[in-house]
Structure 1
């Protein structure tokens, strides 16, 4: 017989052994928000779920249940086959720990496949996430990477993480780069998904003495950074990184690949066009239309992003500052990891 487990039980298990979480909700529900690291083996497709929901409203519960059983029976062999490929202990869940996860766990048990069921479903996980964010419990000092647009702050965070340093990459969790062009080529996350990814990372790094983070705004794309984390970032140790503008243009082109999304770039530019002096705005627009992206990016940096960044930094002075002048992202990284973070004031080793 399958076992119902609480969210606390599940988190305890996941910390101590390999464990697979299976979201049996429809693909669109899974895409909107899930427990990070889960895989999707849907009980119903989006279309099937909609059909059953319509039946429930128009005819009644019995008719909906009969149609659901008919649909699921036809796909049962493939459903079981997917579970048989999983080699670790597993837990299934749906929205509220209701019919879909209970039926899935029951069928798996009948086929000799052991699976837990998350009591309360993903809803109970979401409640846990909200409570964790409300605790405002995050002891590490924040090392905040700042710099003009194109400085490579995200690249630095990625490399720091790859080398084992504690990192919180807010842009990665948001699925957005934080600018008017920030979602091009990406799929922005909603607040639920952002919160889940953030809490998961907070749990991993909260015992570290310091954590690297980027100097983001409170809003990144569609999501808001929790106030306590944003305030802690504002009062952290700020490292200001300077690269030559040619390097910054190169970094932006490598990250965005604007030639693959030319129309999207033009549309995004039109949202800020009126904020730029008319002759310069016209030149940028012509460069984008003609595919001269290097020229367009350089002009955007000089006449839009750099002035805005300079204004924002003068409005928010920081006590604990350190400045890195580098020739490239690699050079910046080498300097960054040689800093001593044990003191309030940063000093080089």
Structure 2
């Protein structure tokens, strides 16, 4: 760990080539753990590729890829306890998979199906659905964490966001509340350098995004988001700190968005091929793989077997998605209100009648 000129800690253990920078934490001697982390990163990447392909062929709607940012999500998902709560944003596929959300549920969600937010796994029943509005999830987290504190529960709420979200009032207000009330929250910023088409260098004038926590009265630090060992170590520390009642922590994970912002975006319009080429040299999957090969715990045979295994799991999920059937028409409105307002009852009935007539017409091929 080192410190920059404004005294914000920065952590890195692996170079882009997979070499060591300083002494590793003791837990990093567990190569079984590192292997599991690596496997989950590869599964996330292969699933991500398949989802993009499904979108390109019109089988799902807009999707936010995680390419190049797998280490952040895998570290978070691996370390959260079952009774913690995740309040995700739209680039949290890796975390959700490790929390117990099924791949077919993620496909349903991005396919516009309400069943994609109705998680079958009981362990994730209290996790929030994907948040699309920018930064509003940061305030939701503070509400959940306040409930934990009032009840005296040693649980942690984790939320993530992109670098652009840190300039929103919602985010800054959430930091203020979390710091004032010393809430058990871990804020993770996926600083992938681009807020859609706006680069980090002109999106915010602060030298780091981590220092925004300092203004709110709690710990903020930077970590190399392409270094799985570094992210895992600092997320582990942040969760332990929050769980012990020592207040919130903000982690700024420095990564790079290797793909488009979403499948509705074309990143070639605002960034150079040379920049992306350089970023590929620092990406997290190859970095951890190189380190494991250097430690003689990984080889080409294991890599081929892993890819085959992951591809089979992804295809199984796609098959389940394809055979999920049609969602109930009323599902698109049933979750708009906790209780449907009487003033809108007539509109609801009109909608259901129309949907049933259309379903009948489709069944008869009309």
Instruction: Give the TM-score of the pair, scaled to structure 2.
Output: 0.25
Instruction: Give the TM-score of the pair, scaled to structure 1.
Output: 0.26
Larger Rg: 1
